[in-house]
Structure 1
Amino acid sequence: MSSARLRLLGLLSAPLAWLLVAYLGSLVAMFATAFWSTDSFTGALVRVPTGDNFSTLFHDSVYRTVALRSLGVAVAVTVIDAAVAVPMALFMAKVARPRWRGVLVAAVLTPLWASYLVKTYAWRTMLSEDGVANWALGPFGLHGPGFGLVAVVLTLSYLWLPYMVLPIYAGLERIPESMLEASSDLGAGAGRTLRSVVLPLLFPAIVAGSIFTFSLSLGDYITVKIVGGSSQLFANIIYDNIGVAANLPFAAAASFFPVIVILVYLALARRSGALENL
């Protein structure tokens, strides 16, 4: 290894070590807090080890229902974004002229420049009783979804779509044109080429994009409060116990649900080779 590379590693080692200590330290602190409790009368922290918080999470059917609902929303958002992103990215990478590809990538990135809250409240306006959804569907005798889980899935799908499009676009650009031409020369049509050549090669890129859409959806609590109506996801339980209930130990215990789910998801994604596409 060259001396210049060694010096670079030496310069980076200190900040990387600090980030590692800060991240792991916060997880250890959260894990320790999860075994504390709060005094029911004064609300003060009781630093006596107990497993009551985890017992409540495991045995109370309400939390199991909310956990399953949160997983369902995250999976639905990921599937919708993948279904929309694949044809978008395919057009950008293989159909559009090279001079237009940069413009299309910029167009995909443009929504990320807008505020998260602005985009979410825009969807609230569109899905409201007097919004665009009811105005457009009214002549057909239909009604918009209103506020609820459907609105949450639609809004989150819009918010995280660019994070799915970009990895898939990068994956498609790495597929050589010669493979597509060879498939055509062997008599395969466009649909067969897509199923047998493109999608298998593109699968790691799709999984890479799903890491963003799945994890961001699983940890979101603001969109649910804006367009979710009376619905509640697991991140809202964590947020409410930090702010309203002021029960930090229970919030810390509840935080382990998304952490464990994401770690399992990352482990599965690593086996597919998706992390190399990030």
Structure 2
Amino acid sequence: MKSPDRPAGHGGPVRRLAGMLHRRPYLRLSLLLSAPLLWLVVAYLGALAALFVAAFWSTNVFTGDVVKEFTWQNFQDLVTLDVYRTVMLRSVLVAVLVTVIDGLIAFPMAFYMAKMASPRTRRWLVIAILTPLWASYLVKAYAWRVMLANDGLIDWALGPFGAHGPGYGLPATVMTLSYLWLPYMILPIYAGLERLPDNLMDAAGDLGARTFRTFRTVVWPVAFPAVVAGSIFTFSLSLGDYIAVKIVGGKSQMIGNVVYDNIGVANNLPFAAAVATLPVAVMVVYLVAVRRTGALENL
């Protein structure tokens, strides 16, 4: 007896490919991620590799041309010259200070939003925190330049108390960066505290734990990974920033300014690449140090 006609495409290559993908989920996932992974490898990791390779080149002092021969001279200059060691130390200290300030400000705000505010108030507070992120970086930085200027808003506010603002310099840089990156600290902490069950704090109170002990034994263990996750943003963004330093930092210099000056004015691309590897190396060390805290899962 003659078998009925099969539907068009039955057993064809498309059908066989679909069946193979259905039987092999890992292959389906690999095809789905192939394009973004290729872009990551080429655009991001490729750029880092080119940066790292260029750091071992040099520049001809007479012609300004890049000499593509292996040398340690750029890194020797970074280690031996006092000016670059000072810039590196200053950059790390500014990034640490900005992170600490943002953490001290962000934690009570995030705790109030997550555990004390009503749902309506919480929504408005989230909007208020996100709104500055929608504004231009330059607009916010120049707004701080205006406020920190002589006879600016800060001088006007402190005038009745016989004080004045810090003017331009490292304190102004710390203040500006702390403002710029504060939302990146608040949001991870808020997300972490939101996962803390309210009944745990109630149980601690019922068992006689005072406020500090409840914070130390119940709240802090849950919030700590989120705090570290926020610090990754604030620390890395502050470490590599150079625009805010240019706008409000006065004569101060950080790593980003050294990189910019060697790319532009000095036209020394290999040395700029060597300097640019320093914040990358610092962040790699920092990420390795905090990976066991669970912070990377909170990003």
Deviation at 1:4, TM superposition (A): 8.6
After superposition, where does 1:191-270 map in structure 2 within 5 Å?
191-270=212-291
Instruction: Map residues 1-278 of structure 1 onto 2, 5 A cutoff.
Output: 5=25, 6-278=27-299
2 CA distance for matches of 1:82 and 1:271? 20
Partner Cα separation in structure 1 for residue 252 and residue 66 of structure 2: 30
Quote the offset at 1:20 in angstroms.
1.7
Relative to structure 1, is the Cα distance of residues 4 and 113 closer, same or farther in structure 2, using a 3 angstrom cutoff?
farther
- Separation of aligned partners in 1, 2:259 and 2:109: 35
Per-residue deviation at 1:244?
1.1
Q: How many residues align?
A: 278
Q: Which runs of 4+ in 1 moved over 4 A?
A: 1-6
- Please, what is the CA RMSD of the aligned residues? 1.5
Normalization by structure 1: what TM-score? 0.96
Structure 1 position 51, deviation (Å): 1.3
CA deviation digits over 1:62-108, x for unaligned, max 9? 11111000000000000000000000000100000123222211111
Q: Secondary structure at the match of 2:172?
A: helix
Query: How far, CA to CA, are the matches of 2:199 and 2:94 in structure 1?
Result: 39
In 1, distance between residues paired with 2:159 and 2:37? 56
Unaligned 5+ segments in structure 1 are none
CA distance in 1, matches of 2:115, 2:131: 21
Structure 1 residues 243 and 273, CA, compared in 2 at 3 Å: closer, same or farther? same
Any unmatched runs of 5+ in structure 2?
A: 1-20
Name the TM-score, length of structure 2 as normaliser. Answer: 0.89
3-state DSSP of counterpart to 1:167? helix
Q: Which amino acid aligns with 2:121?
A: W
Cα distance, 1:3 vs. partner? Answer: 5.0
Highest Rg: 1 or 2? 2
Q: Distance in 2 between matches of 1:145 and 1:94?
A: 36
Task: State the distance in 1 between where 2:298 and 2:39 align.
Answer: 26
Q: What amino acid maps onto 2:201 in structure 1?
A: L
Residue type of the alignment partner of 1:89: A
Moved more, 38-47 or 142-151: 38-47
SS of the residue corresponding to residue 42 of structure 2 reads: helix
- Read off the aligned partner of 1:53 and give its amino acid letter: N
Cα distance in structure 1, aligned partners of 2:230 and 2:223: 11
Give percent identity, aligned residues only: 66
CA distance in 1: counterparts of 2:214 and 2:287, whole angstroms: 29
Counterpart Cα distance in 2 of 1:143 and 1:181: 46
Q: CA offset at residue 277 of structure 1?
A: 0.7
- Name the CA distance, whole Å, in 2 between partners of 1:269 and 1:131: 41
Letter in 2 for 1:178: N
